[in-house]
């Protein structure tokens, strides 16, 4: 009798679930929405915010509705983003009314409900020179819709925007993809109308622009410039991420992000590489790495394992940058992200003894302090050397 009652209840539950699923199907009730955090440590009292300040929607030549940009940003672990529609080019103008502020207005509610910072921006889209410029922290993007490119950039500057030169090595505007700095760029730079430069755009990296950024003290920017849904551009299930700018910011707010950008506190995250000034890359590396057993004992020419935790999501590719007298360590090693990695070190002599702090010097090949120039870093281990045979 009891068993019969139970099975009736089970059937009711199944029926209720089926009705619930039918009623709510399509309303997202049962669909998981999951955020994949960008795992790179905070440094020097600043938050490391994941940001993308370059993307498009159907309000210029993109393929998505603005609210989708907010959802993508949240799912991909961003903290802040800007939609930067072309002022001068609207691919869908027969279907979509011209209003350069509109994508921001539409995406704002979604962004805020997901606790994302959304910043109003636009892309001034001109022939080379000077090419394309992004302006963010705008008050009114429609005011940039003017005849002369100088007037458009001047208007952005008067609105106290942060302005940068986009994709300076883009093949569509530069011969053979070479980055050429024109007189017009000198003019903008001297007027203080160029705050930054893209050293990365989508899947492209521009070494010369990277050099200029360091020499001229321009803020380094990396943007996705995505036009399609991001899932069509990046293979997320293989661990790919969009090209982005990491902003070292006092807090997660529009004002603090602007302060960080004006003070060049950025690191560009492109493919498996972090690109930025040494003063930021070093604490990111040091803050990611933890040696779990910083003291080991080696008997004569025997070996010991050092366990190294990499808390970040970036796989650090290390290459030896110098020998240590008493021990040998691998010439190259990868410290995989979010893993504990084993480093095997060996004694070089049978009869040495004593406790010593060893500094294993490496170049981190994918942390670029200059154009494709790796950061020098050290792994510090205390080694207790014991002679192989005690007499």
Chain contacts with Zn ion (rule: CB under 5 A): 123, 132, 166, 225
Nearer to Zn ion, 72 or 317 (CB): 72
- Which is nearer to Zn ion, 130 or 374 (by Cβ)? 130
CB 52 to Zn ion: min, Å: 11
* Smallest gap from residue 125 Cβ to Zn ion (A): 6
Q: Which is nearer to Zn ion, 166 or 219 (CB)?
A: 166
Dihedral angle, C-alpha 92, 96, 102, 104, nearest 10 °:
-40
Q: Rounded to 5 degrees, what are φ and ψ at 262?
A: -65, -25
- Counting every residue written for the chain, the total comes to 391
Span between the terminal Cα atoms of the chain, in Å? 84
Nearer to Zn ion, 170 or 285 (CB): 170
> If we measure between CA atoms, which residue out of 154, 58, 47, 44 comes closest to residue 97?
58
Q: Which CB sits closer to Zn ion, 132 or 258?
A: 132
Run of H or E including 238: none
Please say which residue, 48 or 166, places its beta carbon nearer to Zn ion.
166
Angle, in degrees to the nearest 10, between helices 102-113 and 66-75: 40
Peptide bond into 97 cis (omega under 30): no
Counts for the chain of helices (H) and strands (E), in that order: 9, 20
DSSP string, 153-191: HHHHHHTT-EEEE--TT-TTTSGGG-----HHHHHHHHH
Q: How far is the CB of 225 from Zn ion (least distance, A)?
A: 4
Q: How far is the CB of 373 from Zn ion (least distance, A)?
A: 28
Shortest approach of Zn ion to residue 69 CB, angstroms? 13
Smallest distance, Å, CB 60 to Zn ion? 8
Question: Closest residue (Cβ) to Zn ion?
Answer: 132
């Amino acid at each position: 009798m009891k068993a019969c009652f139970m099975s009736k209840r089970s059937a009711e539950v199944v029926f209720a679930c089926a009705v619930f699923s039918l009623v709510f199907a399509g309303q997202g009730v049962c669909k998981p929405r999951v955020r994949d955090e960008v795992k790179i440590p905070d440094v020097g009292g600043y938050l490391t915010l994941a940001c993308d300040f370059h993307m498009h929607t159907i309000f210029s030549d993109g393929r998505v509705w603005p609210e989708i940009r907010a959802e993508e940003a949240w799912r991909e672990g961003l903290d802040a983003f800007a939609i930067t529609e072309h002022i001068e080019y609207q691919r869908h103008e027969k279907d979509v009314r011209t209003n350069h502020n509109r994508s921001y207005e539409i995406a704002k509610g979604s962004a805020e409900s997901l606790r994302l910072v959304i910043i109003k921006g636009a892309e001034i889209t001109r022939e080379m020179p000077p090419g394309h410029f992004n302006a963010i922290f705008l008050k009114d993007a429609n005011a940039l819709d003017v005849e002369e490119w100088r007037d458009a950039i001047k208007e952005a500057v008067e609105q106290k925007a942060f302005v940068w030169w986009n994709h300076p090595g883009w093949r569509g505007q530069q011969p053979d993809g070479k980055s050429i700095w024109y007189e017009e760029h000198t003019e903008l730079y001297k007027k203080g109308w160029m705050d930054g430069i893209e050293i990365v755009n989508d899947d492209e990296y521009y070494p010369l622009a990277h050099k200029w950024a360091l020499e001229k003290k321009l803020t380094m920017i990396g943007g996705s410039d995505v036009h399609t849904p991001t899932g069509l551009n990046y293979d997320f299930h293989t661990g790919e991420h969009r090209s982005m700018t990491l902003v070292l910011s006092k807090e997660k707010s529009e004002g603090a992000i602007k302060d960080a950008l004006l003070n060049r506190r950025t690191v560009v995250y492109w493919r498996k590489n972090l690109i930025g000034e040494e003063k930021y890359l070093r604490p990111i590396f040091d803050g990611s790495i933890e040696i779990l057993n910083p003291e080991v004992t080696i008997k004569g020419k025997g070996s010991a394992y050092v366990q190294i935790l990499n808390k970040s999501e970036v796989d650090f590719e290390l290459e030896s940058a110098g020998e240590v007298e008493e021990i040998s360590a691998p010439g190259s090693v990868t410290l995989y992200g979010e893993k504990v990695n084993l480093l095997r070190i060996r004694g070089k002599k049978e009869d040495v003894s004593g406790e010593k702090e060893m500094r294993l010097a490496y170049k981190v090949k994918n942390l670029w302090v200059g154009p494709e120039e790796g950061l020098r870093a050290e792994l510090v281990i205390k080694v207790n050397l014991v002679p192989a045979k005690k007499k």
